[in-house]
Structure 1
Amino acid sequence: MPHLPQTRIPATYMRGGTSKGVFFRLQDLPEAAQVPGKACDALLLRVIGSPDPYGKQIDGMGAATSSTSKTVIVSKSARPDHDVDYLFGQVSIDQPFVDWSGNCGNLSAAVGPFAISNGLVDASRVPCDGVATVRIWQANIGKTIIAHVPITDGAVQETGDFELDGVTFPAAEVRLEFIDPADEGEGDGGGAMFPTGHVVDDLEVPGIGMLKATLINAGIPTIFVNADAIGYTGTELQDAINGDAKALAMFETLRAHGALRMGLIRHLDEAARRQHTPKIAFVARPAGYTASSGKAIGEGDVDLLVRALSMGKLHHAMMGTAAVAIGTAAAIAGTLVNLAAGGGARQSVCFGHPSGTLRVGAEAAVVDGQWRVTKALMSRSARVLMEGHVRVPFSNP
């Protein structure tokens, strides 16, 4: 009987921040997969090993977590003042779809290094020694990211002494600027960043009741609630939630109702096919706890505590885009994030997550009666784990 041959495609397996994924140059993909659509989705699903009813992704490059079921496509940009276009695909583990609705802030740190190493950035923009500035167009959300990539002897420097909680080994620091990270669309309340026009809303959720919530579009659409309002302290690690089916169902119900209130979906049942966005997170005032690595986090080490879920599970650290949302919300008086951090004006915040701590900054101001964030800043690291080719049973029509 006829069999489907394996297609050999150049690819790089990279860690960016606390995530990792398979990176492609657009030009290296089969022609049918170079444009958005079924062929591209089918290819990426097969690369990662989805859908997998066993939930393991054994027959692919994924590792069966939201942090590792990821793909990135990079190409030279035709946009003025940009070097590359970056498209992120969050691959569902057990369902046959790729979610293109948002960015991955962690893998954003690897886009600049990948682009330089793969000849997608003009050589004149890469110093022999120093820092290369890579101007990235994030195609999923239509935003600009500026990556500051260390260069040694004309090549990307990957090793160094920058430590990132959630990553075992130190590496070189990659500084990221998320330019104008808030949503520019007009919400029901006329607020671009806050789709309802309010920094805090009353959100009615079946089985939970009425909750205070901050619904924000910055970095990635995110729903923030207070930890104590849903029975938590903000010091929880993954096992406390991910092994609790009832808790996970509660968070998904909360996420779906928040998505509906934010105008991201029209019907509640649409949330199941929009797993990547919005994110759901809960916040609390500072408290001491022991991180997943065994590291002791003191009450005085952080400004607040944040726990966030991604693709239906508590994240082992913090999603980069959610960190942008945290930094942005912390800078705006009256949000639940700002209040958990003690209130008042601030340009940066250090928050505790399951793996440790992370500092993120944001520059916010009121412009024409609306909050405006010009940029959010944070540091991550990135490293090539493997490069060569992936092999995929794929027919190029």
Structure 2
Amino acid sequence: MQAIPCVLMRGGTSRGPVFLANHLPSDPAQRDEVLLKVMGSGHELEIDGIGGGSPQTSKVAIVSRSPHPDADVDYLFVQVMVAQRRVDTAPNCGNMLCAIGPFAIEHGLVNATAPATRVRIRNLNTNTLIDSDVLTPNGRVRYEGDTQIDGVPGTAAPIRLTFLDAAGAKTGSLLPSGQVRDLIDGVEVTCIDMAMPMVLMHAEALGKTGYETAAELDADLQLLARLESIRLQAGRLMGLGDVSQMVIPKPVLLAPPRQGGSLSTRYFMPHNCHRSLAATGAIGLASACALPGSVAHQITPISGAALVRLEHPGGQIEVSLEPDSQNRPEKLRASLVRTARRLFAGDVYIPGKRTGR
């Protein structure tokens, strides 16, 4: 059996193993095959691996020192499919992202400073930069704290993520279709690329309230088919080509808030509804509220510096928006607070010989 060192971490509302890059094969095809074995991909329960049988718990983070002058570490996110033996490295994951700062500090990639340490992260999936502020009293990562995030039981220490250049993360443009609104299958949508490529639409346009539970939406096969048709067409409009084997863009249903927030959201990953909300999705959705003419702005118009509270099936998530001096939507700086926890550290075992670097 092949033993590979890793740390299993919860990052936000996601969970998965975090690896040092030099503990995995340098060849992407070999690396992906190793990760499929690690997670047990190809079985709905991932019973022969350490995956959790859902997209939120079948995620991998790979970390290394960064050669980039404005980053301390590089972070590659890998979404490992559950039932299919396939991985996708197209998107970033903002929830797993909040585990990268603590991991980098604890593995000596970044020197800790008291009372907090800023870890400058370059996401390799999107070539974007993110600042992660981690509490490190006495030069050690603190996981315990009083911060609670919806979708995760208990409390933990806060980790603030600030996305520095999120516009056009995958497509090179905030509005990759060239328009603030498009019409697809008779549904008005906004195709936006802000931290995560998404196709936004009003829930009522698809015969939904936007307040359904995730399980109710997952059970509506007709809705899922319509969303996939819209998503595939949006992918072409956004210059992503055939996205049938990709997890981007993400379809999102929007509705007016009803729990005291700014906007009600139902975020798909893309073929089932997220039980809460992706952190990168939250960045994009909050930014869309500040984009005049977008379907999000139609419900919740935002201007200037603002705190946007996004309702989701598990509660709410808050995003702070800071515009630049010219109030340009593509130059918005967005930040949010998440939490992380180190679950265990050790070796994960897979069949076969050592294939690392």
What's the TM-score, normalizing by structure 2?
Answer: 0.95
Query: Secondary structure, in 3 states, of the residue corresponding to 1:156?
Result: coil
Among 295, 302, 311, the alignment partner of 1:352 is 311
Contact 1:145-1:176 within 8 A present in 2 as well: yes
Unmatched runs of 5 consecutive residues or more in structure 1: 1-5, 288-297
Distance 2:132 2:121 in 1: 7
Post-superposition shift, 1:345?
A: 5.0
Cα displacement string for residues 31-82 of structure 1 (whole angstroms, at most 9, x for unaligned residues): xx124x2101100111111122xx1111111111111110110001111131
Contact 2:40-2:46 within 8 A present in 1 as well: yes
Distance 1:168 1:10 in 2: 28
Distance 1:221 1:394 in 2: 37
Post-superposition shift, 1:156?
A: 0.4
Contact 1:215-1:224 within 8 A present in 2 as well: yes
Distance 1:333 1:88 in 2: 32
State the Cα RMSD in Å: 1.8
- The structure whose Rg is larger is 1
Distance 2:15 2:162 in 1: 20
The answer to whether 1:137 aligns with 2:122 is yes
Post-superposition shift, 1:185?
A: 7.7
The answer to whether 1:258 aligns with 2:234 is yes
Distance 1:234 1:163 in 2: 25
Distance 1:185 1:366 in 2: 25
Query: Which is strand-richer, 1 or 2?
Result: 1
The answer to whether 1:223 aligns with 2:194 is no
Post-superposition shift, 1:232?
A: 1.1
Name the residue aligned to 1:8: 3
Among 107, 111, 116, the alignment partner of 2:96 is 107
Q: Following superposition of structure 1 onto structure 2, how do residues 1-397 of structure 1 map, counting pairs within 5 Å?
A: 6-29=1-24, 33-35=25-27, 37-52=28-43, 55-121=44-110, 123=111, 126-127=112-113, 129-183=114-168, 192-203=173-184, 205=185, 210-265=186-241, 270-274=242-246, 276-287=247-258, 298=259, 301-342=260-301, 345=304, 347-364=306-323, 371-396=329-354
Post-superposition shift, 1:364?
A: 3.8
Post-superposition shift, 1:363?
A: 2.9
Distance 1:394 1:247 in 2: 42
Query: Secondary structure, in 3 states, of the residue corresponding to 1:324?
Result: helix
Post-superposition shift, 1:372?
A: 2.0
Contact 1:334-1:343 within 8 A present in 2 as well: no
Distance 1:136 1:313 in 2: 29
Instruction: Give the aligned residue type for 1:193.
Output: L
State percent identity of aligned pairs.
34
Distance 2:261 2:322 in 1: 20
Distance 1:46 1:196 in 2: 38
Contact 1:19-1:68 within 8 A present in 2 as well: yes
Distance 1:214 1:227 in 2: 13
Contact 1:13-1:21 within 8 A present in 2 as well: yes
More moved, 356-365 vs 316-325 = 356-365
Cα pair distance change 1:230/1:95, threshold 3 Å: same
Distance 2:352 2:339 in 1: 33
Query: Secondary structure, in 3 states, of the residue corresponding to 1:153?
Result: helix
Contact 2:190-2:200 within 8 A present in 1 as well: yes
Contact 1:43-1:394 within 8 A present in 2 as well: no
